[in-house]
């Protein structure tokens, strides 16, 4: 099991949880496992079969785009973090 950290804009899709456990040995398996349980999350994380260009996925603080993308391996107890772009600042 890995721990997936859910950023605030995506929390409504996971019943408001801040982090959820998910199983899988790769990023793809972990995200598949997660989005099968929380279908609303799917379109916020995936675009087609790929990670959406407006979100970043980190395994143990490393951007999976700089590793093996969806095939990046996830070890038991690893933290997977989802990072969406946030616009807020001024108004």
What is the Cα–Cα distance from 77 to 82, expressed in whole angstroms? 16
Nearer to another protein, 75 or 86 (CB): 86
Q: How far is the CB of 81 from another protein (least distance, A)?
A: 7
Residues 6+ apart with CB under 8 A from 58: 64, 80, 81, 83
Residues 6+ apart with CB under 8 A from 41: 10, 13, 14, 34, 35
Q: How far is the CB of 41 from another protein (least distance, A)?
A: 11
Nearer to another protein, 75 or 87 (CB): 87
Q: How far is the CB of 26 from another protein (least distance, A)?
A: 19
Which positions lie near another protein, rule CB under 8 A? 5, 7-9, 18, 44, 47-50, 52-56, 58, 61-63, 65-66, 81, 83-91
């Amino acid at each position: 099991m890995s721990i997936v950290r859910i950023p605030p804009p995506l929390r409504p899709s996971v019943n408001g949880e801040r982090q959820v456990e998910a199983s899988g040995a790769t990023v793809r398996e972990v995200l598949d496992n997660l989005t099968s349980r929380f279908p609303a999350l799917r379109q916020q994380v995936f675009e087609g079969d790929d990670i959406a260009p407006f979100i970043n996925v980190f395994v143990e603080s490393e951007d999976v785009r700089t590793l093996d993308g969806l095939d990046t391996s996830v070890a038991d107890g690893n933290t997977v973090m989802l990072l969406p772009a946030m616009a807020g600042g001024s108004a």
